[in-house]
Amino acid sequence: MGMASTENIGTQVTLFPVDPLPTSKQETNFIENNKVLKNEHQFTYVNINGLNNQGVKQLERIKMTFESDLLDEIKYILNLLIVLSNNNPSKIDLKNEYSFLIDYLLKYLESSSIELDIKIDCLLIIRNLIQNVDNCQVLSGNKKLREIILNFLNIYDNSIEYLNFFENDQYKELIKYSLDTIENISSYLSPISADDLIFNKLIHIFKVNNDKNNSITILRSISRYLYGTSSNNTFENNNNSNNNNKNNTNTDASVLIDDEFLNKTLGFLLLLSNNNSIDNKILL
């Protein structure tokens, strides 16, 4: 039912139906009634937002948002980047025009005054971007990123002592993205030495972890970290893994693969092979 106009005739109200003009007709009327445009409407008008012009380019809009440091605007752009990085991470080239993104994302991840939701968004963007080989190469060499991830993994370690702490789904999500990021960059960091802090943390978390998906991700990361290490070194140094070799930067990380880790790994793999339908929580 269309809109209606009213006409007062004494005390009687009469309703007249009104049919709105289509947009194309309104535009035509506008041009015909405009003294300037009525003789030039055959031309295409450009550089007017909404008329064949999208306004500021997306790259510039993202840059200006981060430079503005306005939290609401930053949240909006982070949501946009999550979608873009998920759909096509290669379009966000960290080697070239989007290289400025790294500093801003790490800035928010590192800041203690930034709320957890924003940190999760930043880490999710990084996790998505490293699915692209070129972006992964760039981020794998970033020392600050590894330090931030290690700090997040320490949160996981604390949650073992305070079980209620890890009931928070936000921290679970943060850890998941941290582990996913490590899994991708680990291939570019191998082989590593036994004093690598992240590798040591992965070994420790795997031993105390009871989450199936996290265990799978950690095993993948460890296998990639160990690529290129000496197989002989594993057997020669396994008995000495409790000595000072852990502090020797010349000792490769294979010495950290002790009996406890191997038994946990074997039990986990047997459980997976015997029951493919196990849920995310496992108990070994």
DSSP conformation class of 262? H
What pLDDT does 246 receive?
A: 43
User: Nearest-CA neighbor of 119 among 141, 152, 156, 85?
Assistant: 152
- Per-residue pLDDT tens over the stretch 177-214: 999 999 999 988 888 888 889 999 998 888 887 788 88
What pLDDT does 234 receive?
A: 45
What pLDDT does 213 receive?
A: 86
* Statement: residue 233 has pLDDT above 70: no
For residues 206 and 187, what is the distance between their CA atoms, to the nearest angstrom? 19
Residue with more model confidence, 194 or 3:
194
Name the burial class of residue 175, with classes exposed (0-12), middle (13-18) and buried (19+) by CB atoms within 10 angstroms of its CB: buried
* Statement: residue 16 has pLDDT above 80: no
**Phi then psi dihedrals of residue 49, to 5 deg:** -55, 125
Residue 238 bridge partners (DSSP) = none
What's the pTM? 0.70
Q: pLDDT confidence of 241, banded at 50, 70, 90?
A: very low
**What CA–CA distances, in Å, run from 4 to 7, 16, 18, 22, 43?**
10, 5, 5, 17, 37
Tell me the residue type at 243. N
Pick from 22-31, 84-93, 192-201, 242-251: least confident? 242-251
